[in-house]
Chains A and B, each alone.
Chain A
Amino acid sequence: MLIKTRNLTKIYPHNDGAVHAINNLSFDIPKGSFVTVTGASGSGKTTLLLILGGLLHPSSGTMVYNGKALNMQKDDVMANFRSNHVGFVMQSFALISYLTAVENIMIALNVRNKNKAEARKQAIELLDWVGLNDRINHYPKELSAGQQQRVAIARALANSPDLLLADEPTGNLDPGLSEEILGILKVINENHNTTVIMVTHSPIAASFGNITISLENGQIKTNNQSKYEEIFQLTH
Chain B
Amino acid sequence: MNLFKLVLIELWHRKSQLVSGLLAITLGIGVIVGIRSFSVVSEKAVAVNLDNLGANIMVLPQAASVDNYYSADIDAPTFPESYVERIVTSSLPGVDNLSPKLTRRLKIGNESIVLTGILPKSEIASKPIWQQGGLFADKIAASCAPKPGAEPAKYLDERLQRKGIDSLAEADCFIGSVIAQRLNLKEKDKLNIEGKDFTVVNVLPETGTVDDDRVFANLHTVQELLGTGEQISAIEIMGCCSEISDGLLGKLRNVLPDTRITTIGQIVSTQIETNKMMNKISFVFLIIILFVGGISIGNYIWANVNERRKEIGILRMIGYHKRHVYFILVLKGIIIGFLGGIAGYILGTFGAIWLGPQFAGIEVAPIYTLILVSVVISVSVSIIGTVIPAYMAGKIEPFSNMQEE
Contact = CB atoms under 8 A, between A and B. Distances in A.
Interface in A151-170: 155, 159, 167
B12 to A, nearest CB: 8
B319 interface: yes
Nearest to A96: B311
A75 B322 contact: yes
A55 B399 contact: yes
Interface in A119-163: 119, 155, 159
Interface in B177-200: none
Nearest to B404: A92
A116 to B, nearest CB: 7
Contacts of A56: 397, 399
Interface string B46-89: 00000000000000000000000000000000000000000000
A88 B318 contact: yes
B315 A55 contact: no
Interface stretch (A5-13, A107-115, A188-196, A211-219): A107-115
B1 A110 contact: yes
Scoring B319, B399, B405 by chain A CB atoms within 10 A of each residue's CB, the highest score goes to B319
Contacts of B401: 90, 92, 94
Contact of B317 (A55, A91, A106): A55
A7 B315 CA distance: 29
Contact of B9 (A88, A99, A159): A99
A106 B1 contact: yes
> Chain B binding site: helix, strand, loop or mixed by DSSP?
helix
A84 B318 contact: no
Contacts of B311: 96-97
B1 A103 contact: yes
B2 A96 contact: no
Contacts of B319: 79-80, 82-84, 108, 111-112, 159
A23 interface: no
Contacts of A95: 314
A90 B402 contact: yes
Contact of A108 (B313, B318, B398): B318
A99 B13 CA distance: 9
A50 interface: yes
9 contacts: A50-B399, A55-B399, A79-B320, A79-B321, A79-B322, A82-B318, A91-B405, A159-B318, A167-B402
